[in-house]
Structure 1
Amino acid sequence: MQGELRDLNRYPDRDAVALRAALADYLGHGLVAANVWAANGSNEVQQQLLQTFAGPGRTALGFGPSYSMHPLLAQGTGTRWIGALRDPDFGLTPDAAVAQLDEHDPDVVFLCSPNNPTGTALDSTVVGAVLERARGMVVVDEAYTEFRRAGTPTALELLPQHPRLVVSRTMSKAFGFAGGRLGYFAADPAVVDAVQLVRLPYHLSAITQAAARAAVAQRDALLANVEVIKVQRDRIVGTLRARGFRVADSDANFVLFEVGGDQKIVWQRLLDRGVLIRDVGLPGWLRVTAGTPAETDAFLEALT
């Protein structure tokens, strides 16, 4: 990183080739720098995708409840947003997904896996069915994928057979790099080339590129805490279900659970006991983030 700081009087590499190569090495699956693009957080990555493949006169579709920024990014790029729905258990079946594609014929499809705010992951058959039926681009948002349970697939496995597939990632979650603002995607090199037509000049600073490369190089140390969080996540799921709560399956670093009443009242009562969790706007449901064993103890005791 010292070299990058020494050269701050010069513009950064506008193509971020070294960073993209490092990210490709981290992702594996035979990917190279030409398959990867990076920007200021996954929000900018997805905005660039909509600028490239959507816009006025085109549509984007997502299955809610899901990431709240997807419709906002669509609005900001002049893209008409189509809000389809997930199943009552927050999952999605191939037939239900394909039925929505047949009805709306979107230019861009967003799939969130693991889903935000529910934590549920999609089976590869769902992603495969969407890829076979969709006319346009399919973006799989995998912001929380490092927290997925063993056996939960990643859409990266499908990239070689599907040139219209984009897998979006971020370093904000598992890497603890939210302040560094680094999101990226993996796709066919033609998709990367197309997105470069809409990027702003020098959109990634030299400091951001250097810090992100350092974080990727130290991934073993930075991602060690992921396993600790997964243990606490599974502990929360198991304990709540044993107590009779309805809990969404989670492959993320948080757990969504049904409180059996007004979630605002339960949220306030937990806060009164010194525990702050999230009300994500789903009536009757609250979301708790998995943290340290002591934090899990405090949450479970306060909920009792």
Structure 2
Amino acid sequence: MINLPFRPQFADESPYGAPQLDVPVCLNVNENPFAPSAELIADLAKAVGEAAHTLNRYPDRDFFPLREDLSDYLAEESGVRVEPSHIWAANGSNEIMLHVLQAFAGPGRTVVSFAPTYSMYPEYARDTDSKWVVGRRAEDFTLDMDSVRDIVFSARPAVILLASPNNPTGTALPREQLLEILQFAATSGPEEGMASIVVVDEAYSEFRRDGVPSALELLAEYPNLAVTRTMSKAFGAAGLRLGYLAACQEIVDQLTIVRLPYHLSAVTQAAARAALAHRGQLRKQIAELRASRDSLADDLRRLGLDVADSDANFVLFGRFPDRHSVWQGLLDRGILIREVGPEGWLRVSVGTPAENAAFLTALKETM
């Protein structure tokens, strides 16, 4: 038998992925439950058809028209105008994160975050051979700033990963806390006088409540800040696989070094631009999902459950002595949610009104 050269850090590891099961109601991966409109589908088909005429050629590796469209969108959504050259895109925000760690972390360098948070973060660190250091959030899932400061200056990270709203808790990072982190991260990097890159993962930012700002507002003042977004959630385009980042020119330039050649296909670029052209219709969907989220949280509280305040399109709820039995009871009734986060808690994505009602009925029966 040949002894293959497996990497030791991958021993006993399993591929990432939430369960994909054929059930009537899937509320486990925070998707937008509304399918694309007929108008959007028609425009997508037209854009992809036009791109198909040049599929014998490599795609635009700098995708500047797409970056211009993303710049226009961010200006409308957050009120912040980001120069197109300060925007980077890739196949989902997962690839964006991998680019950031490839460019700034890696062997001999450290990545820091604070759990519970997105379960892929340690895998990005593992895959780039970066040291992973994780602190703990407080009982209410907020950050304890004294603990954050101690961990950051002890670990001297190249990259700090902060999800806001946080997954799986839905917790948004207060502006004053982000400001404090950015200020001390200016000198907390891997070498004396070097900064840490602070990545604010805003995958769910469009769902934030009124008055909750975007980290984009701080980009011009803090060159060590990078803000990531995705079209998978609010845009209802999880199948498109388009994530993007806004940062200073120096950060973006480093990402162009580690990207694979022609990493965004011509089809992806065309489809993303077509979807962005329909962003107006998303506002009504987002408003409906935000209202459904708040209603769902109220319904769960009326059942006597603990519910974390959420600025995302999902709700974390508990606490159950045996959360797996509750998860299984829901699955037995055709409802798939996510068994993730702190022990005793479960996460449900906001679905259509009919899906939310089916979930609540099944949960009452299970409980």
TM range (shorter): over 0.9
What is residue 33 of structure 1 aligned with on the other side?
A: 84
Superposed displacement of residue 281, structure 1: 4.9
State how far apart, in whole Å, the 1-side matches of 2:211 and 2:144 are.
18
Q: Which runs of 5+ in 2 are unaligned?
A: 1-46, 186-194
User: Is 1:155 aligned to 2:215, yes or no?
Assistant: yes
Superposed displacement of residue 101, structure 1: 1.3
Q: Deviations over 1:245-269 (max 9, x none)?
A: 1111111111001133110111122
State the SS of the aligned residue for 2:141.
Answer: coil
2:179 alignment partner AA: G
State how far apart, in whole Å, the 1-side matches of 2:341 and 2:166 are.
15
State how far apart, in whole Å, the 1-side matches of 2:328 and 2:320 are.
15
User: Is 1:8 aligned to 2:55, yes or no?
Assistant: yes
User: Is 1:79 aligned to 2:126, yes or no?
Assistant: no
Name which of 314, 339, 351 aligns with 1:279. Answer: 339
What is residue 153 of structure 2 aligned with on the other side?
A: 102
**Cα pair distance change 1:155/1:281, threshold 3 Å:** closer
What is residue 102 of structure 2 aligned with on the other side?
A: 51
State how far apart, in whole Å, the 2-side matches of 1:77 and 1:284 are.
32
Larger Rg: 1 or 2? 2
Q: Deviations over 1:66-88 (max 9, x none)?
A: 11111111111111111111111
| Higher RCO, Cα 8 Å, sep 6+ | 2
Name which of 70, 76, 99 aligns with 2:121. Answer: 70
State how far apart, in whole Å, the 2-side matches of 1:30 and 1:298 are.
41
State the SS of the aligned residue for 2:98.
Answer: helix
**Cα pair distance change 1:115/1:24, threshold 3 Å:** same
Matches within 5 A, 1:76-225: 76-134=127-185, 135-225=195-285
For the 8 Å contact 1:48–1:199, the answer to whether it is kept is yes
1:278 alignment partner AA: R
* Matched positions, count: 304
Name which of 62, 71, 77 aligns with 1:24. Answer: 71
User: Is 1:303 aligned to 2:350, yes or no?
Assistant: no
Q: Deviations over 1:256-294 (max 9, x none)?
A: 011331101111222233322111153111111111112
Name which of 294, 307, 310 aligns with 1:247. Answer: 307
State how far apart, in whole Å, the 1-side matches of 2:350 and 2:61 are.
37
State how far apart, in whole Å, the 1-side matches of 2:255 and 2:210 are.
33
With the length of structure 2 as denominator, give the TM-score of the two structures. 0.80
State how far apart, in whole Å, the 1-side matches of 2:72 and 2:147 are.
35
For the 8 Å contact 1:93–1:126, the answer to whether it is kept is no
For the 8 Å contact 1:40–1:181, the answer to whether it is kept is yes
For the 8 Å contact 2:116–2:341, the answer to whether it is kept is no
For the 8 Å contact 1:163–1:188, the answer to whether it is kept is yes
State how far apart, in whole Å, the 2-side matches of 1:24 and 1:208 are.
17
Superposed displacement of residue 7, structure 1: 1.5
How high is the sequence identity, in percent, across the aligned residues? 54
What is residue 34 of structure 2 aligned with on the other side?
A: none
State the SS of the aligned residue for 1:23.
Answer: helix
State how far apart, in whole Å, the 1-side matches of 2:239 and 2:299 are.
33
Superposed displacement of residue 239, structure 1: 1.7
Q: Deviations over 1:125-184 (max 9, x none)?
A: 111111111131000011111111111111001101000100011111111111111110
State how far apart, in whole Å, the 2-side matches of 1:75 and 1:5 are.
37
Q: Which runs of 5+ in 1 are unaligned?
A: none
2:109 alignment partner AA: R
Superposed displacement of residue 223, structure 1: 4.4
What is residue 35 of structure 2 aligned with on the other side?
A: none
Deviating beyond 6 angstroms after TM superposition, the runs of 4 or more aligned structure 1 residues are none
What is residue 262 of structure 1 aligned with on the other side?
A: 322
State how far apart, in whole Å, the 1-side matches of 2:263 and 2:162 are.
26
State the SS of the aligned residue for 1:42.
Answer: helix
State how far apart, in whole Å, the 1-side matches of 2:246 and 2:237 are.
19
For the 8 Å contact 2:293–2:315, the answer to whether it is kept is yes
